[in-house]
Amino acid sequence: MVESLRNVLFGVLLVTLFIVAPRPFEAFIFTEQPDRPTIVVQGINSTRVLLVWNYNLTRNERFRISTFNRISAENVGTRIATRIYENSSFVFARIEFKANYETLLPATLVLLDVKNSGRHIYYFLVTYTDGVRNYNIKSEVTVIVYVPPTIDVSPAKTSIVDAGKKFNPDVQRIW
């Protein structure tokens, strides 16, 4: 009876330690993430926009794979690039992505020329292992693109003269 009680208490102690003990996903830390949101003004700071992530793995954790991804305004997910070894370069999912993106190690996605149509949610996904299980950690950022105002000056059809100054009512201001 005492032996079975001891076995039950030992089992409860092991379960408690397993539940309370820090798990690997709690040890993983992003040490740097992009501004949230990242603001881009087309034509001002819209070339070479750097989305920088950095992270630390503990000594018991090992890198498995990492990916840069985007979700469009239509909620369509697209993988941009993948890195399958910790010291390897990222490989683009499609050849045409090389015209729009660049990658830097360890975890930087460069948006080469952000346009108004380039509004997306970008996320970085890291898969790592503790030797027993794989864990996925995701960090995302929304890139908001503002388009500055333009002034369209059409040839004047009519001019209004007011105290010697001409005023053109046909000038369109667009924001």
pLDDT tens per residue, range 127-148: 999 889 999 999 999 998 888 8
**CA–CA distance from 113 to each of 5, 118, 143, 145 (Å)?**
68, 9, 12, 11
Model-level pTM?
0.70
For the chain, domain boundaries: 23-147
**Whole-number pLDDT of residue 74:** 81
CATH topology of domain 23-147: Immunoglobulin-like (2.60.40)
Q: Would you say residue 9 has pLDDT above 90?
A: no
User: Rounded to 5 degrees, what are φ and ψ at 8?
Assistant: -65, -45
pLDDT tens per residue, range 75-103: 889 999 999 988 899 999 999 999 999 99
